[in-house]
Amino acid sequence: MSAHTDTMLYLDGVSVAFDGFKAINNLAIIVKPAEMLAIIGPNGAGKTTMMDIITGKTRPDAGQVLFDGRTDLTRLDEAAIANLGIGRKFQKPAVFESHTVWDNLEMALKKPRGIFSTLFYTASDDDVARITEILETVRLIARKDEFAANLSHGQKQWLEIGMLLAQDPKLLLVDEPVAGMTDSETEETAKLLREISKTRSVVVVEHDMSFVRDLGSRVVCLAEGSVLAEGSLDQVSANPVVIERYLGR
């Protein structure tokens, strides 16, 4: 029992196979409260599948997935897990394109999700202030009334990060947040994620090594569904197995 108290996310012995192919194989990962973890690894290493397991999209064949040291995530569905306080940003920006930037954030804002409380919801002054604050953080305040479809790729990424902030989760799962961003936007994103990780746990999946370096966090390298190496970025990237399997010659 002692192993998983005081953890925000605890995965142990997790395996899942699709048609006999082991996408995740005896995976063990721990994320502590207010800690950032960067996950790197080659394509097909199981990074996105791992996120699917945590958020309830995929059920593992075996293993333990605990949130906040006690809640068994394998028994819950996506909506229940999201309401526990796990927010996810997708690899491909998944914003609601036929809604305005403002409405995207309003829907994400942490509020009762029931049918009737949603039907009769009216934004309070606090809610408006909070959404405005998030818009400023993700620098979309000038475009708040535009349809999300009209944003650039990088702005959609930021909007999705904004939606994560609006959900006020305890654990953020961020899949390739800087794909399609300029260098300065990438730096800003790293700064923002570091800021967030002071109060919440953050798991970032990313291929961009300079971005991972900017994050300055603990790094896990996945390959073929299990942990290949773990430590600081320097330790991991100096690991001969990692060089051979992922970073290349």
Give the residues lining the site for another protein (CB under 8 A).
55, 57, 77-79, 82-83, 88, 90, 94, 96-99, 103, 106-108, 113, 115, 118-122, 147, 149-150, 163, 167
Least distance (Å) between residue 146 CB and another protein: 10
Structural contact between residues 49 and 29, judged by C-beta atoms closer than 8 angstroms: no
- The nearer residue to another protein, 77 or 195, going by C-beta atoms, is 77
Query: How wide is the angle at C-alpha 196 spanned by C-alphas 182 and 70, nearest 5°?
Result: 130
Least distance (Å) between residue 106 CB and another protein: 7
Least distance (Å) between residue 152 CB and another protein: 10
In angstroms, how far is the first alpha carbon of the chain from the final one? 42
HSE, CB side, 13 Å, CA atoms: give it for residue 120: 3
Q: Report how far residue 17's alpha carbon sits from residue 187's, in angstroms, rounded to the nearest whole number.
A: 37
Structural contact between residues 33 and 201, judged by C-beta atoms closer than 8 angstroms: yes
- The nearer residue to another protein, 55 or 186, going by C-beta atoms, is 55
- The nearer residue to another protein, 167 or 189, going by C-beta atoms, is 167
Least distance (Å) between residue 23 CB and another protein: 18
φ, ψ of residue 43 in degrees (nearest 5): -60, 140
- The nearer residue to another protein, 3 or 149, going by C-beta atoms, is 149
Least distance (Å) between residue 94 CB and another protein: 4
- The nearer residue to another protein, 1 or 115, going by C-beta atoms, is 115
* Nearest of 113, 62, 108, 68 to residue 88 by alpha carbon: 108
Name the H helices within 28-152: 47-54, 78-84, 101-108, 115-119, 125-137
- The nearer residue to another protein, 94 or 128, going by C-beta atoms, is 94
Per the structure block, which two tokens stand in for 78? 């996506």
- The nearer residue to another protein, 22 or 121, going by C-beta atoms, is 121
Least distance (Å) between residue 25 CB and another protein: 25
Q: Report how far residue 247's alpha carbon sits from residue 27's, in angstroms, rounded to the nearest whole number.
A: 21
Per the structure block, which two tokens stand in for 243? 């060089």
Least distance (Å) between residue 76 CB and another protein: 11
Structural contact between residues 39 and 203, judged by C-beta atoms closer than 8 angstroms: yes
